[in-house]
Amino acid sequence: MHKLGLAITAAVLSMAAAPPPTMAPEAAKELSAAIDILKTRHMNRDRLDWAEVEKEAFEAAKSAATPAETYPAIRGIITKLNEKHTFLIPAENEKARQTGAAVGKTQPPPFIVPEAWPLADRAMLLRVPAFMGNEAQDRIYVATLRQAVQHAADKGICRFVIDLRGNWGGNMFPMLAGLRAFLGKAPYGYWVLPDGKRIAWKVSDAPVEGANLPPYAVAAPDLSYVWVAVLQDEATSSAGEFTAMGFRGLPQARSFGSDTAGYLSSNEPIALPDGAEIAVSEGWATDRVGHDYRDVLTPDQATASGQATVDAALAWLKHQRCR
* pLDDT tens-digit readout, 17-66: 778 889 999 999 999 999 999 999 999 999 999 999 999 999 999 999 99
In terms of Cα–Cα distance, which of 105, 81, 92, 175 is closest to 137? 175
Count Cα atoms within 13 angstroms, Cβ side, for 197: 6
Averaged pLDDT, 123-150: 97
Helix, strand, coil percentages (3-state) for the chain, rounded to 5, are 35, 20, 50
Does 3.30.750 match the CATH number of domain 6-99?
yes
Looking at the whole model, is its pTM more than 0.75?
Answer: yes
Contact 256, 232 (CB under 8 A): yes
Which helix H or strand E contains 153, and what residues bound it? helix 135-154
Topology of domain 115-261+296-318, CATH: 2-enoyl-CoA Hydratase; Chain A, domain 1 (3.90.226)
Domains 6-99 and 115-261+296-318 share a fold: no
Q: Give the per-residue pLDDT at 16.
A: 56
pLDDT at 259: 98
Distances (CA, A) of 261 to 2, 132, 230, 235, 252: 17, 18, 16, 6, 25
Q: Where are the domains of the chain?
A: 6-99, 115-261+296-318
Residue 82 to residue 44: CA distance in whole angstroms:
8
Distance from C-alpha of 5 to C-alpha of 49, rounded to nearest angstrom: 28
* Separation of alpha carbons 87 and 60, rounded Å: 18
Question: What span, in angstroms and rounded, lies between the C-alpha atoms of 209 and 211?
Answer: 7
Average per-residue pLDDT for the chain? 93
